[in-house]
Chain A
């Protein structure tokens, strides 16, 4: 009897606790109007998507503002952990979007000055808010490393703020865009040099020639092709190879892989280091025929030194094409 009373007592206490908890959870806190920012503040984003490739810019947007009553902006600065290559700059114009969707610039400062790792803009107009774009051209020394950025701003009331972005990993890939190739002329492609040669200029660099571009109308499905010089002659009809040009690369055709950096089209697809690390081309053939615009080819060179992705920007029925190459050193 005593035990059951004790038990029921315990249950009552438990119920009471539960009830209190339930009530407390329903209690509403009074809304408090947030304190407005009283001084200089800032924010930043990275606008560029996809891999960070040496030679290409990475775009950032850095916003800074302070209450009008406090004063005006004096300067904005970006410091990269590795100095940007030529072409790195901090925009000295602030942009707004017009009713028609166009970005309209408003001049707010003098053109940026680069000093070592830092890029600085001094404001020349009386403004208390601005968003500046920063274009960091990835330098060669950053390849395979990480880069961090410190954005900072100063104001006339003596305030200063800073914002960290990164670290960002820089890709090991190389890029070469819009290379014109043509049948029987600029037809010899070297992945190592990321260049195209004619039969005459290919002979001295024979050991570096990985592919031959050719165009044939018969059979009709042959059309534009990239073929290893060492491939079966049936895939090189009528081609007289320069002496010593005989490498055998592995090739795999791809369609619908319009890498944004290569295609420069609307597609948001990116080929990254990981793709090159993981692709297995061991059973791939040494030719790719029947290529068309917006198609691509994965390539592995005979010496397994490089893997590449060759994208066909455009093709022409007179036997020419424009290609772009992403290359990864293994």
Chain B
């Protein structure tokens, strides 16, 4: 009889442990990234690399946080079908869509839009990536 009590108590303890282990104290978003209190939401810097991972910019990029644009001038002959954009964002921000490899930016008439999402995940700012040739 006593043994049964012990078994039940042990099982309950285990269940309790499992449940508490899964409990989340820290808020994370769908990507497993920390959600913070920060409200900053901006592009801080921008870089564009070619297929050889060397910059294809001819000038420093112009980032307008009011108009929400990133203007880049690229070198003559840049193959914009195979480039790697790199955004530097304010602390705790993330980018949507994610850049996971090379990107085709050759459609100059229709600039691509990248959305910056703030650290608290409540503010979203869509930046236009405007590219022109040297």
Q: Is B a genuine binding partner of A?
A: yes
Q: How far is the CB of A254 from chain B (nearest CB, A)?
A: 5
Q: Which of B29-57 contact A (CB under 8 A)?
A: 50-54
Contact among A235, A287, A295 for B52, CB-based, below 8 A: A295
A141–B50 Cα distance when bound, in Å, is 40
Check A221 against B51 for contact (C-beta < 8 Å). no
* A residues near B53, Cβ cutoff 8 Å: 255-256
- Judge if B77 is at the interface, Cβ distance under 8 Å: yes
- Judge if A289 is at the interface, Cβ distance under 8 Å: yes
A235–B78 Cα distance when bound, in Å, is 11
- Judge if B76 is at the interface, Cβ distance under 8 Å: yes
- Judge if B68 is at the interface, Cβ distance under 8 Å: no
Q: A212-240, CB under 8 A of B: which get 1 and which 0? A: 00000001011000000000000100000
- Number of A residues whose C-beta is below 8 Å from B? 16
Chain A residue with the shortest CB-CB distance to B54: A255
Q: How far is the CB of B74 from chain A (nearest CB, A)?
A: 10
- Judge if A285 is at the interface, Cβ distance under 8 Å: yes
Check B82 against A284 for contact (C-beta < 8 Å). yes
Q: How far is the CB of B131 from chain A (nearest CB, A)?
A: 16
Q: A280-323, CB under 8 A of B: which get 1 and which 0? A: 00011101011000010000000000000000000000000000
* A residues near B122, Cβ cutoff 8 Å: none
- Judge if B96 is at the interface, Cβ distance under 8 Å: no
Given contact pairs A219-B134, A221-B58, A284-B82, A254 touches B77 in the complex (Cβ within 8 A): no
Check A221 against B134 for contact (C-beta < 8 Å). yes
Check B52 against A219 for contact (C-beta < 8 Å). no
- Judge if B64 is at the interface, Cβ distance under 8 Å: no
Check A283 against B77 for contact (C-beta < 8 Å). no
Q: How far is the CB of A133 from chain B (nearest CB, A)?
A: 38
Given contact pairs A254-B51, A255-B53, A295-B52, A290 touches B79 in the complex (Cβ within 8 A): no
Q: How far is the CB of A300 from chain B (nearest CB, A)?
A: 14
Chain A residue with the shortest CB-CB distance to B104: A283
A295–B52 Cα distance when bound, in Å, is 9
Chain B residue with the shortest CB-CB distance to A225: B77
* A residues near B52, Cβ cutoff 8 Å: 253-256, 295
Given contact pairs A253-B50, A254-B51, A254-B52, A222 touches B76 in the complex (Cβ within 8 A): yes
- Judge if B132 is at the interface, Cβ distance under 8 Å: no
Chain B residue with the shortest CB-CB distance to A254: B52
Q: Which of A254, A255, A290, A295 has the most CB of B within 10 A?
A: A290
Q: Which of A241-261 contact B (CB under 8 A)?
A: 252-256
Q: Which of B102-119 contact A (CB under 8 A)?
A: 104
Check B75 against A290 for contact (C-beta < 8 Å). yes
* A residues near B58, Cβ cutoff 8 Å: 221
Given contact pairs A221-B134, A254-B51, A254-B52, A235 touches B77 in the complex (Cβ within 8 A): yes
* B residues near A221, Cβ cutoff 8 Å: 58, 75-77, 134
Q: Which of B73-102 contact A (CB under 8 A)?
A: 75-77, 79, 81-82
Contact among B50, B54, B76, B82 for A283, CB-based, below 8 A: B82
Q: Give 21 pairs: A residue, B residue, CB < 8 Å, sorted on A.
A: A219-B75, A221-B75, A221-B77, A221-B134, A222-B77, A252-B51, A252-B82, A254-B51, A254-B52, A255-B52, A255-B53, A256-B52, A256-B53, A283-B82, A283-B104, A284-B79, A285-B79, A285-B81, A287-B77, A289-B76, A289-B77
Listed in ascending order, the chain A residues whose CB lies under 8 Å from chain B are 219, 221-222, 235, 252-256, 283-285, 287, 289-290, 295
Sample of 10 further A-B pairs with CB below 8 A, known A253-B51, A254-B52, A289-B76: A219-B75, A221-B58, A252-B82, A255-B53, A256-B52, A284-B51, A284-B82, A285-B81, A287-B77, A289-B77
